[in-house]
Amino acid sequence: MRYTTQFLLSAMSAEQFPAPDSIGAVPEIAFLGRSNVGKSSLLNALAGEKAAKVSSTPGRTRAINFFLLVDDRQRPRLAFADLPGYGYAKISKSISAEWPKFIEPYLQDRETLSLCVCLVDSNVPPQERDRQLIDWLRAVNRDFVIVATKTDRLSGNERTRNLAALRKGLGVAEILPVSSKTGAGIRELWTRIEEVGTKKQQT
């Protein structure tokens, strides 16, 4: 299925989130991860177009940017939510302390949120903040998939080693390696996204 990606809006508070009914109550996919990990780039790679802004200055985005994916008959099928990165402010201890206030409620309460795509950098050792986020998503019962970004920067051996370290350090069984630059792993991630999309539509 081919989709066209439309920028919907940039929300700075819960009141500004698009009402699910106004976008056909489509399944929503959120992109989460540390600042500069490659969220916007991944969203663009999935969309096959430059829908989201790739930042030159990390930690700039403080809003949730919503995108609507429509099919060839202009019917809404999916929504993407590009979340602000965490881990930019160096001193805060908890994830939420440095996040805009509306992010945690978004992750906890958004009815149409069907899958959290959690990004970690394949070039960086496991990070405590990522682990905290994953544990928290488990605690609030959110479906998630862990994606290791920027694999184009690693040799085959390094990639195998780093992915094993990430699985262990983050306490997850599966990590999907991707590169927004080469397109590696993008099809596999699409398969995961379509799975949740169709599951939702059947119920």
Ligand X SMILES: Nc1nc2c(ncn2[C@@H]2O[C@H](COP(=O)(O)OP(=O)(O)OP(=O)(O)O)[C@@H](O)[C@H]2O)c(=O)[nH]1
Q: How far is the CB of 152 from ligand X (least distance, A)?
A: 5
3-state secondary structure the chain: CCCEEEEEEEECCHHHCCCHHHHCCCCEEEEEEECCCCHHHHHHHHHCCCCCCCCCCCCCCCCEEEEEEECCCCCEEEEEEECCCECCCCCCCCHHHHCCCCHHHHHHHCCCEEEEEEEEECCCCCCHHHHHHHHHHHHCCCCEEEEEECHHHCCHHHHHHHHHHHHHHHCCCCCEECCCCCCCCHHHHHHHHHHHHHHHHHC
String of contacts with ligand X for each residue 124-163, x by CB under 6 A: -------------------------xx-xx----------
Measure Cα distances from 103 to 47, 77, 109, 141 in Å.
23, 23, 10, 16
CB 37 to ligand X: min, Å? 4
- Contact with ligand X (CB under 6 A) among 8, 17, 180, 189: 180
Residues 3-42 that bind ligand X (CB under 6 A): 33, 35-41
> Residue 185 binds what, of Mg ion, ligand X, none (CB under 5 to 8 Å, by partner type)?
none
CB of 10 to Mg ion, least distance (A): 12
Indicate the residue whose CB is closest to ligand X.
85
How near is the Cβ of 122 to Mg ion at its closest, in Å? 18
- Which residues between 35 and 94 bind ligand X (CB under 6 A)? 35-41, 54-55, 58-61, 85
Please say which residue, 127 or 149, places its beta carbon nearer to ligand X.
149
Residue pair 67/47 in contact by the 8 Å Cβ criterion: yes
- Residue 176 structure tokens: 């999907």
Smallest distance from the beta carbon of 74 to ligand X, in angstroms?
28
133 binds, among Mg ion, ligand X, none (CB under 5 to 8 A by kind): none
Cβ closest to Mg ion, residue 40 vs residue 112: 40
Residues that bind ligand X (CB under 6 A): 33, 35-41, 54-55, 58-61, 85, 149-150, 152-153, 179-181
